[in-house]
Amino acid sequence: MTRELFWLTLTVIMTGLMWIPYLVNRVQVRGFSGAMANPSRTDKPQSEWANRTMFAHENAVENLVIFAPLVLILNAIDYSSRWTVLACAVYFWSRLAYTLVYAFGIPVLRTVVYSIGFLAQAVLALAIFKLL
């Protein structure tokens, strides 16, 4: 497994687990049966941090659709460099930081951390065209 694929695997696992915190909050707020029921307009609202975590999870899934193919293309063309490995690691940590910063409701830092992840994706795209 390449180092880029390692970071992609960690990112996929992390994204796949991001639903757990907001589901735990849903159980706390609505009870187990309420959390398992179909959504209703009369449901008790979740905590604000849980709503933000849910939005961060949706954003992570949306960005995984960009990150994963970039890594897989690099793997298919057998291209790896210190920059691509670093970009993948930075992407992983920026997504983790984004989720935490979003959950705590820190808006400006959220945008900064998101931008770092975007730049990591840009590095991977440039590497595909061997511009790095």
Cβ–Cβ < 8 Å for 53, 17: no
Which whole-number Å values give the CA distances from 44 to 37, 51, 52, 103, in the listed order? 12, 12, 16, 19
In terms of Cα–Cα distance, which of 68, 92, 94, 73 is closest to 11? 92
Structural domains of the chain, with CATH = 3-128 (1.20.120.550)
Over 90: is that where the pLDDT of 132 sits?
no
pTM of the model: 0.94
What number of residues does the chain have?
132
* pLDDT tens column, 48-63: 999 999 999 999 999 9
